[in-house]
Amino acid sequence: MRKSLNIGHLSTMYHTSFILMNTDWLKKANIEANWSLFGGGPAIVQAFERGEVDLGYIGLPPVMIGIDRGVAIKCIAGGHVEGTVMIANSEFKSLDQCGSNPSLFFEQFKGLTIACPPDGSIHDVIIRNCIKKSGFEGKITVKNYEWADMIPEAMADGEIQVAVGTPSLAVAAKRFCNAKTVISPDRLWPDNPSYGIIASADVIENFPELVLDFIKIHDKGCKFIRKNPGNAARIVAEKVGVVDADFVQEMYEISPKYFAGISYKYIESTMKFNPTLHELGFISQPLEEKDIFDMRFVNQLAL
C-alpha cells in the first residue's frame, strides 16, 4: 500500500507544513512526505497540472482558477482564514485613520505601486478587488513578485512603499523596514480562505486512507498552533533558521484563526470570490461549491 505523498508548500510560516517538516508526526503515521517549495499558490496549481504533486498548501482563489482551467483538484481540508494584510511606510494613514473610508484610504496610494505575491494568488485577487471597488483601477499599479520573500527587500531598498501579503510579511516589514499595518487581515476580506489542503483527484480516489491520515496530522498541527503557539513558534523558527521564535509567535497573533475543518463561513467566503475572479478575467464562469470542495474527509473526522 502506498504511504508516500508529494506535497507542494510555500514559504508561508504559519502553514502546518513547517511543523510537519520538523516533527516526527508523519513518520509515526508511516507517511513519507516529499516536500517541494514553490513561490506561490499558482505555481503549485501548475505542478498539480503536470502531475508532480499529490497535495498542496494553497489559498483558494488560485485553486478556483486551476479548476476552471480543468485541473483535477479539490479542497479537502481548511487551514487558516484571513491571511492577507496590507502594510505601508509609516507616513501613510491606516484605514481606521481614514474613517474606514476605502476611497479616502486608497487615494493616498494614487500613482504608486503596491507590491504583491504572484499574479492570481489570493493576495493579488483581494488587492485588485479592493482597488477596483474603491474607484482607483488604472490609477494604482500592482506589481507581482514570484517570490513573496522578495517584497521586504524591495521595501527596504525604497523601491516599494506599500504592499500586501501574509502576516509574516507584516512582521518582517515592521522589523526591518519600519513599516506598519494599514489594513488588518480581518478587514480586507472577512473569513477569506488564505489556505486549505488541496488534493489531486487521483490521490483522493485511489488513496483515501492515506489522505485521511494526513488530514488527521494536519488537524493536530492546527490545534498545536492554537493551543501552544509558543512551542509551535519554536519548532517553526528552528526549521526556517532565519527568524526567531518571537517573530513566528507575533505572526500567529496577527491572524490567529487556524482550523483544519471546512466551515460554512470558509465556504461562503470562498464562493464570494466567484464574481471577482470572473470580473478580473481569472475564470470563465462562476464555480459551484461541489466543483471546489470534497467534504468526505473532514466530515468523517467531524472537523
Give pLDDT, residue 204.
Answer: 97
- Report the candidate in 290, 286, 266, 263 with the shortest Cα–Cα distance to residue 276: 286
Q: Under a CB-based contact definition with an 8 Å cutoff, are residues 53 and 8 in contact?
A: yes
**What integer pLDDT is reported at residue 1 of this predicted model?**
65
Rounded Cα distance between 180 and 96, Å, is 13
The reply to whether 136 and 278 lie within a common domain is: no
- Co-location of 38 and 106 in the same domain: no
Q: Beta-carbon neighbour count of residue 228 at 10 Å?
A: 12
Is 150 found in the same domain as 27? no
One domain for residues 144 and 170: yes
Task: Tell me what pLDDT residue 43 has.
Answer: 96
pLDDT number for residue 147:
84
Q: In the chain, which residues have pLDDT < 50?
A: none
Structure-block grid coordinates of residue 75: 479542497
Q: Show the 3-state SS of the chain.
A: CCCEEEEEECCCCCCCHHHHHCCCHHHHCCCEEEEEECCCHHHHHHHHHCCCCCEEEECHHHHHHHHHCCCCEEEEEEEECCCCEEEEECCCCCCHHHCCCHHHHHHCCCCCEEEECCCCCHHHHHHHHHHHHCCCECCEEEEECCCHHHHHHHHHCCCCCEEEECHHHHHHHHHHHCEEEEECHHHHCCCCCCEEEEEEHHHHHHCHHHHHHHHHHHHHHHHHHHHCHHHHHHHHHHHHCCCCHHHHHHHHHHCCCECCCCCHHHHHHHHCHHHHHHHCCCCCCCCCHHHHECCHHHHHHCC
pLDDT of residue 3: 87
pLDDT at 266: 97
Domain tally for the chain? 2
Q: Which pLDDT value is given to residue 176? A: 86
Write down which residue in 155, 188, 221 finishes a domain. Answer: 188
Range of the domain at 199: 4-82+191-301
Q: Do 40 and 167 fall within a single domain?
A: no
CATH number at 44 reads 3.40.190.10
- The answer on 155 and 218 residing in a single domain is no
